Amino acid sequence: MKYPVTVSVVIPFYSNVDWLKEAVLSVLIQSFSDYEIIVVNDGSNENIDDFLNEFGNKIVYKKKKNEGPASARNLGIELAKGEYIAFLDSDDLWHTDKLKIQVERMEKTSALWSHTNWETFKNNKKENVEKRYLSNCHGKIFPRSMISTLIATPCVMIRADAIKERNDLRFCESMRFGQDYYLWLLMSAEFRIELIREILCYVRLRNDNANKRARAHLQLRKNIWQQFKNRKNEIFFKKWSYFPIRFVYRFCEREDEILEKLEKKFNLSNKILEILAICLYATPYSLFLILKNFYPIKK
Q: Given a cut of 80, is residue 172 above it in pLDDT?
A: yes
* Buried-state track 249-279, b at ≥16 Cβ within 10 A, e below 16: bebbbebbeebeeebeeeeeeeeebbebbee
Report how many domains make up the chain.
2
Q: Cis before residue 143, ω within 30 degrees of 0?
A: yes
| pLDDT score recorded for residue 234 | 66
* Contacts of 119 by beta carbon, 8 Å cutoff, 6+ apart: 128, 129, 130, 131, 132, 199, 201, 202, 203
266-278 average pLDDT score? 95
pLDDT in tens, 73-102: 999 999 999 999 999 999 999 999 999 999
Mean pLDDT of the chain: 92
Contact (Cβ atoms closer than 8 angstroms) between residue 129 and residue 119: yes
Among 211, 238, 271, the domain boundary falls at 211
Residue 280's SS3 state is helix
Examine the domain organization and report whether 105 and 249 are in the same domain.
Answer: no
pLDDT in tens, 233-253: 566 777 889 999 999 999 999
Q: Is residue 1 part of a domain?
A: no
pLDDT at 122: 87
Q: Point out the domain boundary residue: 163, 191, 211.
A: 211
- Residue 208: the pLDDT is 59
Show which of 211, 235, 265 is a domain's final residue: 211
Q: With 0-12 CB in 10 A as exposed, 13-18 as middle and 19+ as buried, what is 187?
A: buried
pLDDT tens, 182-211? 999 999 999 999 999 999 999 998 865 556
Amino acid at 83: E
Residues 217 and 207 in one domain: no
